[in-house]
Amino acid sequence: MRFASAALALSATALVAAQNVVVEVGSVATAEGGIFQFIPNDITAANGTTVTFRFTGAPGNHTVTQSSFADPCNPLAGGFDSGFVFIPPTNTTETPEFTLTITDDSRPIWFYCKQLIPAPHCSAGMVGAINAPTSGSNTLANFVSAARAFQGSSGQGEGGLAGVGASASAAPSPIAGGASLVGAPTSGAAAPTQTSPPSSGSPSGSGANTSPSPTATGNGASALGSSWLLALGAVMGVIVA
């Protein structure tokens, strides 16, 4: 009987570990909620659960970047970060995926999209949470409200594969069919830096914004330099091609 109980417990553990939640990153202009959203944005996931972010919004250029309730549109020190995944309008091949494994379900995990073009996605409400409290002040609704109230450019610092309470084992993949990845995360949970350029390209469903000009105020503005223009040129080349 003792063996049977142990086997039962083992299988229950395996069941929990096998759970997966899928979140779509970005959408289309005609969708309810528009382009700038994670679907769903309210995720419940126990330890061992995997949360797979699928960059389905086409065209799109988004990130999944860990932040905090207190500062929804800036990267959390030691947080995870997918990097910028650009999806062209005509991407018909495999969808890039970024998969987190939950390592601490005892506290909420907050995240945002740090893309600034054509306007900061975080301020447009492109945020989400894993295991957010359903009562009290730190609810997802309050987090969304705080993000929408955020002024200036959301933080561009790069996180890593490993985050706080959740970690990825690989950068978004596959990157194919015209998709590109800028600022791919590397191993470790280094503190976010402000030296990386934001990505570029037009996440607009209409593709109308071809001359993005992120405002020169706020966090990370000093990083907007020649490397950013180079990245823009590279992505625009993809669009033109």
Would you tell me which residues interact with Cu ion (CB under 5 A)? 62, 113, 115, 121, 126
Residue number with the smallest Cβ distance to Cu ion: 113
The least distance separating Cu ion from the CB of residue 205, rounded to whole angstroms, comes to 12
Nearer to Cu ion by Cβ, of 1 and 208: the residue is 208
Query: What is the residue whose two structure tokens read 């979140």?
Result: 23
Sheet strand arrangement including 127-130? 42-43, 127-130, 109-112, 65-67
Q: Are 195 and 109 in contact (CB under 8 A)?
A: no
CB 79 within 8 A of CB 167: no
- The CB-of-225 to Cu ion minimum distance in angstroms stands at 22
Query: How many CA within 13 A on the CB side of residue 27?
Result: 18
In whole angstroms, how close is the CB of 119 to Cu ion at the nearest point? 10
Torsion of CA 212, 217, 218, 222, to 10 degrees: 80
Closest separation in Å from C-beta 107 to Cu ion: 25
With tokens 């914004």, the residue in question is 209
Closer to Cu ion by CB, 49 or 153: give it: 153
Nearer Cβ to Cu ion (71/105): 71
Q: Which is nearer to Cu ion, 113 or 231 (CB)?
A: 113
Q: Which is nearer to Cu ion, 49 or 219 (CB)?
A: 219
The β-bridge partners of 167 are: 101, 162
- Smallest distance from Cu ion to CB 59, Å: 11
Please state whether the peptide bond connecting residue 118 to the residue before it is cis, i.e. omega within 30 degrees of 0.
yes
Nearer to Cu ion, 87 or 126 (CB): 126
Strands (E), 30-96: 38-39, 42-43, 50-54, 60-62, 65-67, 84-87
Residue 69 CB, nearest distance to Cu ion (Å)?
19
